[in-house]
Structure 1
């Protein structure tokens, strides 16, 4: 795009910043956070009771995973009513109190929005399956059956269900047609090519925005757009039967990710810019914001991310960055990605906000993917990168994947191996029964073993704990204009296993230096160190003032205040 083009998004001409810039976002999986009524399932009042804990982490935004009425076939991502609260989580009054108390603590609240599919118990789907001629007949993706060479009924094409790798089509006896479900068979896909569906989803957004929510995390957006001719997906040449998940037998080049998705998302983003939702009277601009979930193409992740920035207005929307899950924990891949990605953002628009996460409810825990030392270094990286930093509840405690006995498995995707239950086990609050999560005889998922000695309370006053590290990082990020709003320059050092970048704003320049290697190393820095600010270790020799040599222990990450210089400012190098 021509930089002088009038359609090129520009950063708002404001004397203050959008809340999304430099935000520390805390994801809460409600079922597993805090149970207030002893039924073994977390709920909204439980979350409200823990807001002070969240605030103490330096969090300024909470992302709430689904709490809507649902039969829980996929634990809330099968929505039966977009404008309600499931009784298992509480009432609408409980949500209103949570929202009010969150804002009272000067934090934002964004909620999960699931636009691709509903529950099969949603009123829209019930009306759609009842008749081929009714007003909701084309709100979902329906198709007639095909016949094989023996005259047997078969699905319209070869598309697969993400959760179990079986056919994404389910036969409906009432309507005598197949309906598409990209995920669970009880999660029928909405037909986003129908303007009435798009209008209804925008009404849902306005319902929650009118209540005062600050934005949305938009789920599974790639599946909102498919090949309108329902062409078969191509085989995946890299698929390994018995090793790869069944879903990955195909490339999914037609079942999701068609370009019209950016037009649909742009429509949604336009809602956030409506006059009713603009609020510039505070120092921190409460412009509503949304973050989209779409895992990128492995071969061209930066192109995939940039398509979202170009297709949506970056002043109010951004895609999740999933390199915290996809990239190996090595300096070179991260150095290459950060330099290219942030240069691309800067060349497109200063309004672009990046978003980084190393954990969520769908991926194995950070502390299970990496060693303890590496996970601590990852926390330093997460909290010093530009844009929004997302912390999944429990990662600040170094929580690992739980062990789920077969009889207690809940996740519908577990039938083909894997499963997401281990990363969704209850929060570890204390050494009390069920780790202080619940007083129930049995919690919905088992509590992790070892909670008696490793929990939030036990880490409270331990300077070497994960909790202390995350709190220190949260405080630093909130107090640092460079970390919240500064530029980033990635430096290439002689040691290939060391990553170094500098965040700079005005006269504040902070360097993050991470040793990815398992041996100690002394690095020559291209700038002078004024003082050490933070390290993942509690006892080490940091570089003294004005030194350009820094010794790093294995897997150590440090943050240093460095002397301002031209080579530290400006765009990513």
Structure 2
């Protein structure tokens, strides 16, 4: 392959967030400092040296705001307060300062598609149709069928099952909630609401030193005129509507307004951008000329074998790796010959553990799987995101956990919906439980496994959620001084990612074995630099795919102790052009 020049109209070296590795922290499950069973801000502060030693540049804190915790903090009741079990605003200021003192930056979740129904704004909005804040949320009158029965304003299904509309008896109208009933959607058509959002949720924390935001549901603010979604499930009245309510006509305008706030500061923004298959639409958000968002999370990769709308309704087919590779290719090629930027991630708080999903969590393969996935991820272009516990190879909850151990609203609602739909059919419920164990968000929310002490060293008391029993051998303390551990390998990969930043972080991606169902091979090129990455996604040795392409390359690194001939089980290798 000849040298490739990648178009980048922005000054790449001046954008600190392009070369950053971001470490996501889920506060409830990270570290409990006061032994109440729930993680907290002082617990995070106590582990900043651990995060810094990993080679991380930025920490991302999932919602820390005051909240009834119906959806684990994504139902915000006060943007300017902290959830009391986590700490205080002054505690957050200490976390910000301590993070900066270690040469790292901090971003926080920005949750402004909706609030909690306990937020003062919503309480005022639903107090009366004449309330000045009535139009801060989305209210609509009922529709009626031919028999005179009251019906919701449209056929949208909530992301958490059931209608996306709830009837409010006192004011005789429905309000919209794309997620839980307790998460009413803000009305971004209201200029007054937008002004309050910017001041309360953004400026308040920017003035306290945060370095940017992961922006929740960033493409859902403009919902057009709330039309019915196309009927794709003919057995149901309610329809999955993501492609209908995302990317509405005023999205550009709203993001431009947000940018006016952000441009006062040296910020990083990463938007959650589901239901956006159109590459040009994505570039309209992340292009340097557009200057709206720095990057977005597209879910092509983590949705392999599933879909966000039907997450629990499908499991990966036997040829899932072909789909997986195609998804990686789409997200990587977003930056090829454009002024856009992309992200690389396999885990976050919304998806189950990558080793369990994409490799093998069997004891004999877990370490190899964790290293192989780390090697793949750290050689992909874009800003890299690592989720807490991923760096030590944490895995899903075991198959023998009863479904009652799963606490997430999404999983609980799905299980109850199956129960109601099938009349409690035992086979259907068994299958539903299996799907939950495989892909439920709870798998990523079990307590961080710090040591082999009681409760994995997370807390001295019973945690809010059950600890995965693997902690006795799978924990950070056991890995820190083990050169063969997943943790040590992640540290190595993050150092190499910076050492070869041009080819790994900015390089042009080319998929080389698109139809292979066992191996994954791709090249990365930047100027005269070129790397080849080969990965075995099976538990059996495998021949090198397209080995002839490696004739002028030298081995840089392998996940295996010995790297010669065939790829070992779950082995990954990096080759550099000689």
Q: Is this a same-fold pair by TM over 0.5?
A: yes
Q: Say if 2:383 is the partner of 1:388.
A: yes
Residue 23 and residue 321 in structure 1: after superposition, are their counterparts in 2 closer, same or farther (change >3 A)?
farther
The residue number in structure 2 matching 1:558 is 573
Q: Say if 2:168 is the partner of 1:172.
A: yes
Secondary structure at the residue paired with 2:207? helix
The residue number in structure 2 matching 1:355 is 343
Secondary structure at the residue paired with 1:217? strand
Alpha-carbon shift at residue 227 of structure 1 (Å)? 3.1
Residue 312 and residue 201 in structure 1: after superposition, are their counterparts in 2 closer, same or farther (change >3 A)?
farther
> What are the Cα deviations for residues 96-140 of structure 1, in whole angstroms up to 9, with x where unaligned?
111111111111111000110000111111111112122211000
Residue 43 and residue 340 in structure 1: after superposition, are their counterparts in 2 closer, same or farther (change >3 A)?
closer
Residues 365 and 400 of structure 1 are in contact (CA less than 8 Å); yes or no, is this contact kept in structure 2?
A: yes
The residue number in structure 2 matching 1:182 is 178
Residues 511 and 559 of structure 1 are in contact (CA less than 8 Å); yes or no, is this contact kept in structure 2?
A: yes
**Cα distance in 2 between the residues matched to 1:445 and 1:343:** 39
Residues 25 and 391 of structure 1 are in contact (CA less than 8 Å); yes or no, is this contact kept in structure 2?
A: yes
Taking structure 2 as the reference length, what is the TM-score of the superposition? 0.83
**Which consecutive residues of structure 2, in runs of 5 or more, have no partner in the other structure?**
1-6, 306-318, 361-365, 416-435
Q: Say if 2:60 is the partner of 1:63.
A: yes
More helix per residue: 1 or 2?
A: 2
Residues 234 and 252 of structure 1 are in contact (CA less than 8 Å); yes or no, is this contact kept in structure 2?
A: no
Alpha-carbon shift at residue 447 of structure 1 (Å)? 0.6
Within the candidate set 506, 513, 521, 2:543 is matched to 521
The residue number in structure 1 matching 2:453 is 432
Within the candidate set 463, 468, 488, 2:488 is matched to 468
**Which consecutive residues of structure 1, in runs of 5 or more, have no partner in the other structure?**
1-8, 278-286, 542-549, 564-573
Taking structure 1 as the reference length, what is the TM-score of the superposition? 0.84
The residue number in structure 2 matching 1:270 is 260
Q: Say if 2:31 is the partner of 1:34.
A: yes
Alpha-carbon shift at residue 309 of structure 1 (Å)? 2.6
Alpha-carbon shift at residue 301 of structure 1 (Å)? 5.8
Q: Say if 2:170 is the partner of 1:147.
A: no
Residue 144 and residue 101 in structure 1: after superposition, are their counterparts in 2 closer, same or farther (change >3 A)?
same
Q: Say if 2:473 is the partner of 1:450.
A: no
Residues 383 and 477 of structure 1 are in contact (CA less than 8 Å); yes or no, is this contact kept in structure 2?
A: yes
Aligned length in residues: 522
**Cα distance in 1 between the residues matched to 2:245 and 2:513:** 44
What RMSD over aligned residues (CA atoms) do the two structures have, in Å?
2.8
The residue number in structure 1 matching 2:245 is 255
**Cα distance in 2 between the residues matched to 1:559 and 1:314:** 34
The residue number in structure 1 matching 2:95 is 98
The residue number in structure 1 matching 2:198 is 202
**Cα distance in 1 between the residues matched to 2:558 and 2:571:** 7
Residues 481 and 508 of structure 1 are in contact (CA less than 8 Å); yes or no, is this contact kept in structure 2?
A: no
Residues 44 and 94 of structure 1 are in contact (CA less than 8 Å); yes or no, is this contact kept in structure 2?
A: yes
Secondary structure at the residue paired with 2:154? coil
**Cα distance in 1 between the residues matched to 2:65 and 2:111:** 10
**Cα distance in 2 between the residues matched to 1:365 and 1:401:** 6
Q: Say if 2:558 is the partner of 1:535.
A: yes
Which one is further off, 312-321 or 87-96?
312-321
> What are the Cα deviations for residues 490-542 of structure 1, in whole angstroms up to 9, with x where unaligned?
2636994544444455665443222345442144343555643321212333x
**Cα distance in 2 between the residues matched to 1:39 and 1:382:** 35
Residue 302 and residue 40 in structure 1: after superposition, are their counterparts in 2 closer, same or farther (change >3 A)?
same
What are the equivalent positions in structure 2 for 1:201-350 lying under 5 Å apart? 201-203=197-199, 204-228=201-225, 230-237=226-233, 249-274=239-264, 277=265, 287-297=266-276, 300=277, 302-303=279-280, 305-310=282-287, 313-314=290-291, 316-327=293-304, 332-333=322-323, 336=326, 342-349=332-339
